[in-house]
Structure 1
Amino acid sequence: MPNFSGNWKMKSSENFEELLKALGVNMMLRKIAVAAAAKPAVEIRQDGESFYIRTSTPVRTTEIRFRVGEEFEEQTVDGRPCKSLARWESENKMVCEQRLLKGDGPKTGWSREMTNDGELILVRGNSGAWGQRWPQCALGNSRGVGWDGEGATAVPVTLLLLADHDGRRRCLHQGLHSGVTPPLS
Structure 2
Amino acid sequence: MLRKVAVAAASKPHVEIRQDGDQFYIKTSTTVRTTEINFKIGESFEEETVDGRKCRSLATWENENKMYCKQTLIEGEGPKTYWTRELANDELILTFGADDVVCTRIYVRE
- TM-score category by the smaller chain? over 0.9
- Superposed counterparts of 1:117-156, under 5 Å: 117-133=89-105
**Number of residues paired by the alignment?**
109
- Match of 1:69? 42
Q: How high is the sequence identity, in percent, across the aligned residues?
A: 56
Aligned to 1:70, the other structure's residue is in SS state: coil
- Match of 2:108? 163
RMSD in angstroms over aligned alpha carbons?
1.2
Paired letter, 1:56: S
Is the strand fraction higher in 1 or 2? 2
- Match of 1:91? 64
Unaligned runs of 5+ in 1: 1-28, 134-160, 166-185
Q: 1:89 to 1:128 in 2, by over 3 A?
A: farther
Q: How many angstroms apart in 1 are the aligned matches of 2:91 and 2:33?
A: 24
Paired letter, 1:95: Y
- Superposed counterparts of 1:23-42, under 5 Å: 29-37=1-9, 38-42=11-15
- Tell me which of the two structures has the higher relative contact order, counting C-alpha pairs closer than 8 angstroms and 6 or more residues apart: 1
Q: Which runs of 4+ in 1 moved over 2 A?
A: none
Q: How many angstroms apart in 2 are the aligned matches of 1:99 and 1:52?
A: 20
The TM-score with structure 1 as length reference comes to: 0.56
Per-residue deviation, 1:34: 2.8
* Contact in 2 for aligned 1:108/1:128 (Cα 8 Å): no
Residues 39-61 of structure 1 show CA distances to partners (whole Å, capped at 9, x for unaligned) of 11110001110000001111211
Which of 38, 47, 54 is the equivalent residue of 2:20?
A: 47
